[in-house]
């Protein structure tokens, strides 16, 4: 197990990576928010050396589902989709050592936008990472106790353009079940002050990672509006 990410071997010696259980992480980690910030700071450092290793990206992104879990029912859809796409992305690991490899493999097979492709999964995982960034930015920009407007604004900006009407409607209805600001920080084992510092750390570290992923697509003339 590496930082809560379990790696097991099946009878064919193929590694099977399992995401950490959000409930277990929340119970055993003194600060899930610290874990998320530290994981992306590590990614940002790796990015300074060149391409991002797929396994390191997976490990960092695995902690994002913990935050979705803390937001409750309203973001259950995001958590389920995010976990499925992240696990699907990791299936590329035998053939792809880096994120650039992920794009190149699908470009070569002309399956970049095909359902279930590695590139499509990477695109959706990137949106999940960006959704957390947007939520954190909204939290830092206001001291509103109610998270409905904060979460709705972040969702509308990052995910809504790519979801069906049915999904958007379900998400909108779920926004009324969001925890309050204080309840969210309590679930994350944070105070307002400690959470603010860690959210800023995540934003600063995740932003160049998000931008790098976008550049991988654009470098192969793949638009980002999908």
- Mean pLDDT of the residues in the chain: 86
Pick 22 or 194 by higher pLDDT.
194
CATH 3.40.1360.10 fits 34-219, yes or no: no
Q: What are phi and psi of 18, to 5 degrees?
A: -115, 135
Query: Locate tokens 């859809």: which residue?
Result: 77
Q: CA-CA distance, 35 to 99, in Å (whole number)?
A: 22
Assess contact for 69 and 79: CB atoms under 8 A.
yes
Task: Give the pLDDT band (50/70/90) at residue 6.
Answer: very low
Which spans in 32-117 are helix H?
Answer: 32-47, 54-61, 64-70, 76-90, 99-109
The full set of domain ranges for the chain reads: 34-219
pTM: 0.85
CA distances from 55 to 15, 16, 72, 87, 205 (A): 11, 12, 28, 11, 17
pLDDT at residue 33, as a whole number: 94
**pLDDT tens for residues 65-91?**
889 889 888 888 778 889 999 999 999
């Amino acid at each position: 197990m590496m930082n809560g990410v379990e790696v097991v071997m099946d009878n064919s010696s193929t590694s099977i990576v399992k995401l950490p259980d959000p409930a277990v992480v929340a119970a055993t980690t003194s600060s899930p928010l610290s874990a998320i910030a530290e994981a992306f700071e590590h990614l940002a450092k790796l990015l300074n050396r060149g391409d991002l290793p797929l396994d390191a990206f997976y490990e960092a992104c695995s902690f994002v589902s913990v935050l979705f879990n803390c937001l409750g029912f309203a973001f259950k859809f995001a958590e389920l989709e995010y976990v499925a796409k992240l696990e699907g992305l990791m299936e590329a690991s035998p053939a792809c050592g880096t994120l650039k490899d992920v794009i190149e493999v699908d470009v070569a097979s002309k399956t970049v936008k095909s359902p279930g492709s590695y590139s499509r999964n990477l695109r959706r995982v990137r949106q999940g990472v960006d959704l957390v960034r947007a939520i954190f930015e909204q939290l830092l920009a206001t001291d509103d106790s109610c998270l409905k407007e904060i979460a709705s604004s972040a969702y509308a900006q990052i995910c809504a353009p790519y979801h069906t009407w049915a999904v958007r409607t379900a998400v909108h209805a779920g926004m009324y079940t969001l925890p309050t600001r204080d309840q969210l920080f309590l679930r994350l084992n944070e105070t307002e002050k400690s959470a603010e510092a860690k959210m800023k750390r995540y934003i600063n570290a995740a932003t160049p990672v998000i931008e790098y992923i976008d550049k991988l697509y654009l470098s192969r003339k793949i638009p980002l509006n999908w």
